[in-house]
Amino acid sequence: MDYTVPKLTDYSAAALEKAAGECIAACATEAAEVRSDADLKAFRDRWMARKNGILTQINDLWLKGAPKDAKREAGIRVNELKARILELAESAHVTSSRSVAAECVDISLPGVRRPIGAEHPVIKTRNEIVAVFQRLGYSVAEGPVVETDYYNFEALNFPPNHPARDTQDTLFIAGQQAKPLRERLLLRTHTSPVQIRTMEKMRPPIRIVIPGTVHRNDPPDASHSPMFNQIEGLAVDTNITFGDLKGTLDHAMKALFGSSVKTHFRPSFFPFTEPSAELYVTCFICGGSGKRDGNAPCRPCKQTGWIEVLGCGMVDPNVFEFVKDNGYDPKKVSGFAFGAGIDRLALLKYGVDDLQHFFQGDVRFLQQFG
């Protein structure tokens, strides 16, 4: 039987408690019967409609009709009753939503699978290179991106006004003119400063690889970016020779690009190594022939059959002089260093023709490497 709001003649606490209990019990019974949106609408209209809803009737019959000395007690009971009915209406809404959802879901259908992310091609290439050298016993070292002129240039055998500084296209931090040159801040142009920082902290022997981002004032195009990724390596011990450098890099290139890859060293110049060389590998696109797909010219190697991948050399004794007090006496130790652009290696490895694709965040491009 539908609940009807009674008119009260007794406003004692016991009578109000009994009337409120009967009202709540009736509301709970009706709320439990709600199964659909239509049921929910009818329930809310019956109990909470402004004109004829049961809550409105309770307010008119119980509160407004209460004697003056009973209005306070009646007001408390009516407010408690309203709060409880609102709770029951909310629970009816949740029950209705679940029922509708259950009716709409076909449990025989397969679930929705969330796509699993994958490494960015540059990050993947970096991790592959690092893993090769970790298997050779190298540790990973890191350092700050904002560097001082001392660590970025001076301690790496770049004297003031050295022309090699001009080729770095350095981005300096503003407001540094009042400081001495060696203390001026800049965005590092290579990860080589970490070599000096590591040798200041650790005595020889050391073997480290240094991945990280570097910055240069280069306009973005298909082969340049003001921010790019680099990885360097440093090995220092007694009696390290250029032969150790060649053997290490030959092994690393074969591990990265396949056992059939051949390496070739050509003389070069870097301020922090002497002698210095550029490492070339046989083109892994055309196999070193300079041609692909029949007689078509191979663009990655410019038809030479060789691709330059990194710079390297024996650590210049002048560099060891800056850390001589920590065991790096150039008369007693020797070492080699190398550095490569990770982005460039990723370009070659995946056959991408525009460096900017790696930084534009286009999901359609990145999904190819998932």
Reported as a single tens digit per residue, the pLDDT across 148-188 is 999 999 999 988 877 766 666 888 899 888 898 889 999 99
pLDDT in tens, 30-46: 888 887 888 888 888 88
Angle (CA) 200-206-211 rounded to 5° is: 85
Sequence-ordered strand ranges (E) for the chain:
139-140, 146-148, 171-172, 185-187, 206-215, 227-237, 263-270, 273-282, 291-292, 296-297, 306-315, 334-341
In CATH, the number for domain 121-369 is 3.30.930.10
Q: Where are the domains of the chain?
A: 13-104, 121-369
pLDDT for 345 beyond 70: yes
Q: Are 343 and 278 in contact (CB under 8 A)?
A: no
- Residue-level pLDDT at 96: 58
pTM value is 0.66
Q: Are 205 and 310 in contact (CB under 8 A)?
A: no
pLDDT in tens, 87-96: 887 877 666 5
Q: Are 211 and 140 in contact (CB under 8 A)?
A: yes
> Residue 49 and residue 23: Cα distance in Å, rounded?
16
- Residue-level pLDDT at 95: 62
pLDDT for 291 beyond 90: no
